[in-house]
């Protein structure tokens, strides 16, 4: 299983648009969930945090294997997601990449899990 946590800076003038993006994803929950199998995604969470007065959107994900690149998807939900990303994420700011140090899983759940970062 691939486990990642990464944070991406939002452009300072796109904070309202980033909130719109998160609302869009919430409003289209079922359609977003339906896009996850193509990415081999078992679970995805998006968090927000402000660091030094800069908004970051942070993705936590569990994948069974690397999946299709969302940027190449012809799914309208994925295309809208990529459009928001392009407009809102400041690619000039290095992403926050968190290193997985430990995983703790109840024995009944974790017998067949193999975590990688």
The residue extents of the domains of the chain are 2-110
Does 23 or 113 have the greater pLDDT score?
23
pLDDT average, residue stretch 52-68:
94
Please check whether residue 1 is in contact with residue 63, taking contact to mean a CB–CB distance below 8 angstroms.
Answer: yes
Asked: is 2-110 a CATH 3.30.70.100 domain? The reply is: yes
- 37 in helix, strand or coil? helix
- 117 pLDDT more than 60: no
Q: Which of 86, 78, 83 is nearest to 38 (CA)?
A: 78
Q: What is the mean pLDDT of residues 81-110?
A: 93
DSSP tag of 65: S
């Amino acid at each position: 299983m691939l486990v990642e946590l990464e944070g991406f800076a939002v452009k300072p003038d796109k904070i309202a648009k980033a909130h719109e993006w998160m609302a869009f994803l919430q409003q289209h929950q079922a359609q977003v969930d339906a896009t996850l199998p193509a990415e081999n995604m078992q679970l995805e969470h998006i968090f927000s945090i402000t660091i030094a007065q800069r908004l970051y959107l942070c993705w936590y994900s569990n994948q069974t294997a690397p999946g299709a690149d969302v940027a190449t998807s012809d799914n309208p939900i994925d295309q809208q997601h990529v459009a928001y990303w392009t407009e809102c994420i400041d690619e000039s700011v290095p992403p926050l990449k968190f290193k997985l140090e430990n995983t703790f899983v109840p024995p009944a759940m974790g017998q067949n899990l193999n975590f990688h970062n």
